Structure 1
Amino acid sequence: MARKKTPEAQPAKCSVCKGSGEVSRTVRVGRKRREVGQQTGLCLNCLGSGEAPAS
């Protein structure tokens, strides 16, 4: 008798970066702190893995 394969449970995605592992930050320069653009950086919630951290 053949057994059915059950699909493996996928880990939950990080809610901050939506599973990408990167977040956008606004870059500010000068004394008046004017905004000049955005830069991507590592998600500090999941540390770049894209998976939701364990509680």
Structure 2
Amino acid sequence: MLLKKLLATSVVCIFALGITACSPEVGSEAWCKKMEDKPKGDWSANEAADYTKHCVF
């Protein structure tokens, strides 16, 4: 039972690391380009603030 929990936890952690590794770092040129291509209506408030902070100024 403990082995199954450990295995499940390991799989979830590896999956989470894989997902986050695919996203460009906020403020990088790749991230700014990605945001330019994304429809403005789909931006969150945090994304809009980060875009203004890192890509406009």
TM-score normalised by length of structure 1: 0.19
Which is helix-richer, 1 or 2?
Answer: 2
Larger Rg: 1
Say which structure is richer in strand: 1
Name which structure has the greater RCO, CA cutoff 8 Å, separation 6+: 1
TM-score calculated relative to the size of structure 2: 0.19
